[in-house]
Every structure is written in structure tokens, then in C-alpha cells.
Structure 1
Amino acid sequence: MEPQKIREGYLVKKGAVLSSWKAVWVVLSDDGLDFYKKKADSSPKGMIPLKGATLTCPCQDFPKRPLVFKISASKNQEHFFQATHLEDREMWVKDIKRTITCLQAGKKFARKSTRRSIRLPDTVNLSDLYLQMKDQESGVKEQKLEKEKRIFNHCFTGSTVIDWLISKAKARNRQEGLMLATGLLNEGFLQPAGDLSKGAAEGGAESVLLDQPDALYYFADSGFFCEGYSSDEDTIVKEEFRGAIVKQGCLLKQGHRRKNWKVRKFILRDDPAYIHYYDPGKGEINPLGSIHLRGSVVTAVEHIPDAKKHDVEGNLFEIITSDDTHYFLQAATAEERKEWIRSIHTVAKSGK
């Protein structure tokens, strides 16, 4: 019988020889993980058997890549994958863990703690807690705070986090609150902003999150940005980055000159309405380009004149900007194409 397919999509994988990070198409089946150089390839570039494997998430091997998880195969081989965003990582990790558990004939897989000081109860679901914290009505309020001659937008203090956890009966006291908040920081749900919080996170302190009014943090999927000069080389964020993140993920994009297709990570923001695209293996510091969506049109297409059929086929859509620039993109599935078109259309219509 053919292996049952469980999940598929783009992930960024660390190369075993050159140690470079490149986007690959990954297919999770009930017996292993196949990864392909391109989605259209018929044979995989490699296969990772999951029987006897373990999964580590969060992975501390690459501190500057918080969305990385590690699969340690039975032959002492380590494989590192990076998701495009937190929700994407959580879904992959959940399905891979379930697959490993099934292959081990009911033996439970216990995730290893990344820090000896953190022993969260089994009943604690950090993903659910994070969603509650982000609730616009009852969650932690994002603020505009000034510190170190800089203005931090969409952030909050460490003491605010602990106050919220206690007020919502998530923690009985500040010590329990620190344990939960540190778990959220270790998992990548919260990110440090500013020298004080970054220093604590990188210094390996017992309580990584600081219960202090001067320690600043932000939600990983928020519209956080910093203005002003920074001693740690934070960039001055342009106006187009101010909007909150509406949607993000990997798509295939056709180049304007060579007409070749490459995997790019896209981040859609509203107010102002922009979509930026990046090399998924190089992070999100400098985008490769941006598309101003105000007044643009987005539609599904079935054929692209300059594209060879064997290179790209299905789930295509086009963005036509107000200055008549055309962008051709491909989603992984028909449902994903529908979601991108809907989100882009909404932003283009309502954003500045």
C-alpha cells in the first residue's frame, strides 16, 4: 500500500553539506517525511524515516531562527526545518509528533524542555494561551512605548504580561506567571524588543522573561516595528511596514525579467496596504520587493503566457497594481489560492 499523505507544503530546510537554508516542498506521510527541490518534481530529493525519530521544538540550535524545529532520525542524523510563521510551525509539529507516536505503537513521545527551569504542566496549552493573549477585547493591550531614544510600536512590558496572566487566573502568583511567560518566549510566541529584554533572553537567565516595566516584548505575529536609532542595528522601519500582518506564507512567484519561478515568503499587511516578499532562507530583514495594493486587482488565472506548462500548472493568480504592473503567483492548493485572493482583495479595497 502507498503511504498515506498527511500534510504537505513549503518549509525551509538547512542543507547537510553547505549549511545553507533553502525552501523545499515537504510531504509528510504516515511513515516518513519526503522533501523535494520543487513542488512539480516527481521524485524526492531526500526522505526522513520517522520510526524511532524524535522531534525538538523549540530548537535552540539557531537562536536567530525561532521558527526552526529539529527531527533527529534513528541513525543519529539531524534535520532542521523552518516554518514560515508560528501557526504553520505548530501544525507541522503537531502532525509530525502524531506520526512518530503512531509508529512507536502507542509509546508517548515526550517533548524535551529547552531549559531546566521550565517544567510546564501537561494541561497547559501555550498555543491556546497565546491566542487568548492576542484577543483584541480581553487580551494584552499593545501600546506605543518610548525607550532608549526609540519608539516601540505594538508592544507591551514584561510586568504587563504577568499582570494579565494573574488577572485571568492563568497563574496563581507572579512566580507561576513568570514560568508561563518564559515558556511562551522559549516557544517563540513572544519576542523581546529592546536591549534589556534581548539581553535577558540571550543570557540564559533562569526567568528569561523579565517581570519589569522597562522590559519590552511583542507578539510574534503582530505589526511590531521600531523607529529611531538603535545600538543593535535595528532598522528604521518604513511607512509601508506599519500595517498589521493579515496573512503570510510561501508562494511561487514568477520573475519579471527571466520569467523563472521561485519560492518566496509573502507577508500581507493592511493600512497601508502592502505585500512584501522575501527569500525564505534569509529571514525578513530586507524584502526582495513590495507591492502597493491600494487600487489593485487580484484574480484567479488558469494560464500564464510566459510560463511553460511543465514548470507551473494550477492554483495560479494574478495581481495587477494601479500602475498596471502584473505579478503572477501560484499557491500550493486551490483553497490556499482562494484565501490569498480574498485577503488581498480585502486589503486592496480597504487599506491606504
Structure 2
Amino acid sequence: MEPEQIREGYLVKKGTVLNSWKVVWVVLSEDGLEFYKKKTDRSPKGMIPLNGATLMCPCQDFSKRMLVFKVSSAKKQDHFFQASHLEDREFWVKDIKRAINCLNGGKKFARKSTRKSIKLPETVNLSQLYTQMRDQETGIKELKLEKENKIFNYCFTGNSVIDWLIYNEKVRNRQEGLMLATGLLTEGFLQAAGDISKEGAEGTAESSLLDQSDAFYYFADSGFFCEGYSSDEDAIVKEQFRGNIIKQGCLVKQGHRRKNWKVRKFVLRDDPAYLHYYDPTKGDEDPLGSVHLRGSVVTAVEHIPEAKKYDIEGNLFEIITSDEKHYFLQAASTEERKEWINNIQIVAKSGK
């Protein structure tokens, strides 16, 4: 019998020979992890057997790359993957861990929650803690903070994180608070903002989160953005990033000039209504472009002009902006296309 397919989707993978990072289509089955150059390819570029494999998450081998996890085969060959966002990494790590455990135990794969790799007491649930910290009424307050001619929006300080943990009786003292907060940082729930906090996160100290009033952090799925004291024109550009993140993930996008298709990471924000897209092999600081969605129309399509069926087929949709600019995109599945269309339609109507 063929192994059951568990999960598939886009991930960024580090080359085994070269140090370049490229987007690949990854398929997780009960006994292995296959990766393809393109989703439509019939033969994989490679396959990682999971029998006897180990998984490390978070993987901090690359200080400038977040959301990386490592799969090491039984033959001690390391494979590094990077997810597009926190939730995406959580799903992949959970299923890969479960598949490895089932193989080692001679059991059939079944979805079941697993412990995260961070070395914290068994009673600690980081996902639940993160949800509590984000609560609008009782959580950590997001502020506009200023430092060295820069404004950090939707941010908070390192010492405010420890204060909150102590006040809410999550820890007994500041030392325990640092351990727990460092776990949230290394797992990607919290992100460093500014030079001081980034240096702490990339350092070798036991506590990578700094208990300081000048170390700034933000929630992974918040509307964080940083701006300098600049012209009105720059301020308008930064305004695009104020909205809450509604949905994010990888889609295939058609270029406007060459009409070629490339995988891009998309982030949908609601107020103002923008869809930003990025090169998933790089960081999220500089988007390749943005789509202003206010008044836009989005529909599913079955055919795209100037696109060969060999290159792209299935799960397509089109966004037409209020100034009649057309964007053609492809989702990985029918269900994912439906989710993107529904969310974009809501944002286009309600966002400004």
C-alpha cells in the first residue's frame, strides 16, 4: 500500500550543497518528506526518510532567519526548512513529529497534539499563554514607542513582558519570567524589534529576551511596523501596515511584465485593506509590492490570458482593483482558494 499523505504545501528549503534558499513544494507522508521544484512536477527533487529521523524546532542555526526547523535523517544528513508564518510552522512541526514517533513506535499515523521542542515544564502551554498575552482587555498593551529617531508601532518592552507574567502569576520571579519569555521568543510567538532586542535574540546568552525598558518586542501576528521621521509621502506608505493580519501564506503569482509565475508570500491586512507580497526566501521587511483592496473585485477563474496550461492550471483566482489593475493568483487547493477569496472580499468591503 502507498503511504498515506499527511500534509503538503510550500516551504523554503536550504540547498544541501549550496547555501541558497529556494521555495519548494513539500509532501509529508507516513514514512517520508518529499520535496519538488514545482507543485506540478511528477518526480521529487529529493526524499527524506523519516524512519530514525529527528526534528529540531526552533532551529537557531541561522540568526537572520526566523521560523526555521531542521529534519535530520538517520544517516545524519541535515535538512533545513523555513515556514511562511508561525501557524504554518506549528502545523508542519506537529505532523512531522507525530509521523516520526509513529514510525519509531511501529504505529499507524493519527493526528494528536504533541509537545513543542522547547525545554520548559510540561505544564506550560506556549500557544495558550500567547493567546492570553494577546487579550485586548487583560493582555500586554501594544504601544507606539520611540527610540533613535524611529517610531515602533504595536510594540511593548521586554520588562513589560516579565511584569505581565509575574502579575498574572505565570511565574514566581523575574528569572523564571525570563526563561518563559525566552521560550516564547525562540518559538516565534514574540519577535524582536530594534537593534538592542535583535542583538539579544541573536546572542549566546541563556536568556535571549531582555528584561529592559529599551528592548522592544512585538506579537508575531500583530500589525507591527517601524517608521522613521520622514516625509508625508513615506508616512502614507507606512500607513499600509497598520491593519491587523487576517490571513497569510504562499500563493503563486503571475508577473505583470514577463507573465511568468512565481511563489510569493502574501499577507492580508484589514484596515487599511492591503495585500502585500514578498519573496518567501527573504525577510518580511521589504515587500515586493502591494495591492490596495478597497473597492476591489475578486473571483475564481478557470482560465488566464497569456498563461499556458502546462505552466499553471487549477485553483486560480483574479483580483481587479478599483483602478482596474488585474492580479492573477493560484492557491494550492480548492479549499485554500475559497478561503483567500472569502477573506479578500470581506476586507475589500470593510477596509478603508
Summarize the alignment of residues 154-169 of structure 1 with structure 2, pairs less than 5 Å apart: 154-169=154-169
C-alpha spacing 1:219/1:106, structure 2 compared with 1 (3 Å): farther
User: How far, CA to CA, are the matches of 1:208 and 1:279 in structure 2?
Assistant: 28
Deviation at 1:110, TM superposition (A): 8.7
SS in structure 1 at match of 2:84:
coil
User: How far, CA to CA, are the matches of 1:325 and 1:89 in structure 2?
Assistant: 33
- The answer on whether the counterparts of 1:56 and 1:111 sit within 8 Å (CA) in structure 2 is no
Q: 2:177 — aligned with what?
A: 177
C-alpha spacing 1:259/1:194, structure 2 compared with 1 (3 Å): closer
Aligned residues: 342
Q: 2:338 — aligned with what?
A: 338
Q: 2:198 — aligned with what?
A: 198
Gaps of 5+ in 2: 108-113
SS in structure 2 at match of 1:221:
coil
Q: 2:95 — aligned with what?
A: 95
Give the letter aligned to residue 181 of structure 1.
Answer: A
Q: 2:321 — aligned with what?
A: 321
User: How far, CA to CA, are the matches of 1:348 and 1:111 in structure 2?
Assistant: 37
Deviation at 1:320, TM superposition (A): 0.2
Gaps of 5+ in 1: 114-118
Give the letter aligned to residue 17 of structure 2.
Answer: V
CA deviations 1:88-129 (Å, max 9, x no partner) are 00110000000000111169x99765xxxxx41122121222
User: How far, CA to CA, are the matches of 1:205 and 1:149 in structure 2?
Assistant: 28
The two structures have a TM-score, normalised by structure 2, of: 0.91
User: How far, CA to CA, are the matches of 1:10 and 1:44 in structure 2?
Assistant: 14
Deviation at 1:229, TM superposition (A): 6.5
Percent identity between matched residues is 77
User: How far, CA to CA, are the matches of 1:133 and 1:104 in structure 2?
Assistant: 36
- The answer on whether the counterparts of 1:25 and 1:37 sit within 8 Å (CA) in structure 2 is yes
Bigger shift: 82-91 or 181-190? Answer: 181-190
- The answer on whether the counterparts of 2:58 and 2:117 sit within 8 Å (CA) in structure 1 is no
Q: 1:39 — aligned with what?
A: 39
- The answer on whether the counterparts of 2:320 and 2:327 sit within 8 Å (CA) in structure 1 is yes
Give the letter aligned to residue 336 of structure 1.
Answer: E
Q: What is the root-mean-square deviation of aligned Cα atoms in Å?
A: 2.1
Q: 2:285 — aligned with what?
A: 285
Give the letter aligned to residue 20 of structure 1.
Answer: S
Give the letter aligned to residue 13 of structure 1.
Answer: K
Deviation at 1:193, TM superposition (A): 1.7
Q: 1:116 — aligned with what?
A: none
Q: 1:70 — aligned with what?
A: 70
Give the letter aligned to residue 120 of structure 2.
Answer: L
Summarize the alignment of residues 48-197 of structure 1 with structure 2, pairs less than 5 Å apart: 48-105=48-105, 119-197=119-197
SS in structure 1 at match of 2:16:
coil
Q: 1:20 — aligned with what?
A: 20
Q: 2:8 — aligned with what?
A: 8
Deviation at 1:141, TM superposition (A): 1.4
SS in structure 1 at match of 2:240:
helix
